[in-house]
Amino acid sequence: MSIVLVTTILGLATLFYIGVELLFFFIFHFYFIPRANKLVPPAPYRDYGKKRSELIVRILQRIEATCTLTNKDLRTSIHSFFAECFHHASTNPSSDRRERLDVAISTEASEVPLLSAENVDSEPSGCLYKEEMDDFFAWALFGKQYSTLLPWESEELRKTFTLLQEKYKIQFPQKCISPQEGRPETFDKKQPRCMSLEPVNSIHRPLLIYIIVALLKTAAGLLLRLLGYRRIVSSTGLVGWYKASKQVQHEGSSFLPLLFFHGIAPGGLVFYLPMILLGIATERDRPIFLFENPSISCTIDFNVLTEEQTVQGVEEIIDQCLGSERVISVMGHSFGSISIAWLLKSKLASQIQQIALLDPVAILLSEADVMINFLYSGVVNIIHVAVATELFTEYYLRRHVAWYNSELWLDDLQEHHKMLVCLSEQDEVINVNKVKQELERNALDTSRKNKPTTIYWGDVRHAGCMASPTKWKQIKNILIQQELDIVRHSKPSSYSPILETTNAEVS
């Protein structure tokens, strides 16, 4: 009788679960996805206002400086930069290789020669036309379709093309009206990667996945409470976990407070806790802040915090727990580097003296590599399956993250910023070679005293550092040495206990 009862209960439970999953399937496809596909007004430009062309010029100036350093051809480099921003679609049945797109670059303002395939390589080549660049710049500079631009936006777009022509001798020809005009029509289907205007490309996940993630987050919260962390919610809704220093009452006697920002991962902080608790922030006397971002944590939630709300929430929590004068250290992994880029444009920038970036996507974010590798690559790997195709993550990235406000420009760092950048050779998201090149270029700037320290891990993939105690120790040792320099140059006498403790740990 008991076996029959158990079997019946299991059968009913299975039917109930199947019914719940079927209901969730319909909600997911007929409510969640349509809502995620609704367009959101673009965030205002924080640094450039209405002068959007200045951002394009700054990007091209960086490309020019890199070409000077590496002896690369500027024409080819600019060609590659613009080409990667487009979807490639060839209609030539005889070609099975990816189409190469070209810009018309002239040495004289009166000339408009096409950059032919022979100038780049032997692959079939087409041309980026003015109409296609109109569509690209309308999205990149204004977050809109070209047909919806306002008068001032159209004028700024015209100014952008004028600047490109006058400064870099770059012009884009009009599309040919008819095939008789002689320009090839086989490569005429090119669309810019307008990620914020495109529909989400998510894969359905069972409700059970979201339940498991929620349970993991709950367990992580209980663990943090047991370890002395306090959950704080700012007025903007930002959630942070705070553990105070044991010696907080003696001002200047504790280690630098550490602010940590996680990357895109199921459960948010969950899989970062071993690295933080056992490797990075092990001192009892170090105040620690761990910030959550549910929008990149595989959580069912359309309530997104904007950049402004995130920064305001961090400022509020720091003021509440530390005050507005305390020097702090910040660390971010992957997307967490974008949160740090936001903070470096806030009033907290003067308090931030140490920056640690692990697999940072914020450096060179204006290049197309991160966008392509994360959202468009189509390669089936752990990143694609676990996070890149998750609906709420895609919704956040495509509708609410403004690339033009999220790049970390190394040139903008102040002298009091000490930085550690950790890169993984086999990173599937970041173009590591480009980032290394940019770090090297920045290091050659003789006007800067503090140069970024770089760790380069061979044969390691994106987020590989999270499960490697050896790498935790490597990161920790460099951060400790940087912290020693910071405290020695601030309050040597009051920090003497820290110097003694830290030197003992390093030795």
Q: Once rounded to an integer, what is the mean pLDDT over residues 13-42?
A: 95
Which amino acid belongs to residue 144? K
When mean pLDDT is compared across 16-30, 62-76, 171-185, the lowest value belongs to 171-185
Question: With contact defined as beta carbons under 8 Å apart, do 454 and 421 qualify?
Answer: yes
Question: With contact defined as beta carbons under 8 Å apart, do 465 and 434 qualify?
Answer: no
Confidence of residue 469 (pLDDT cuts 50, 70, 90): very high
Could you read off the pLDDT of 352-396 as tens digits, one per residue? 999 999 999 999 999 999 999 999 988 888 898 889 999 999 999
Could you give phi then psi for residue 77, rounded to 5 degrees? -70, -45
Q: Which domains does the chain have, with CATH numbers?
A: 53-192 (no CATH), 207-506 (3.40.50.1820)
pLDDT for the residue numbered 166 = 87
When mean pLDDT is compared across 99-113, 167-181, 256-270, 423-437, the lowest value belongs to 99-113
> How many angstroms separate the CA atoms of 34 and 31, rounded?
6
Degrees to nearest 5, angle at CA 316 with 312 and 322: 140
> How many angstroms separate the CA atoms of 183 and 198, rounded?
29
Exposed, middle or buried, 9 (CB in 10 Å: 0-12/13-18/19+)?
exposed
> How many angstroms separate the CA atoms of 466 and 471, rounded?
8
> How many angstroms separate the CA atoms of 298 and 214, rounded?
9
Could you read off the pLDDT of 177-223 as tens digits, one per residue? 555 555 544 445 688 999 999 999 999 999 999 999 999 999 999 99
The pTM (predicted TM-score) of the whole model is 0.89
**Contact residues for 387 (Cβ-Cβ < 8 A; gap 6+):** 264, 265, 266, 296, 298, 393
Question: With contact defined as beta carbons under 8 Å apart, do 332 and 261 qualify?
Answer: yes
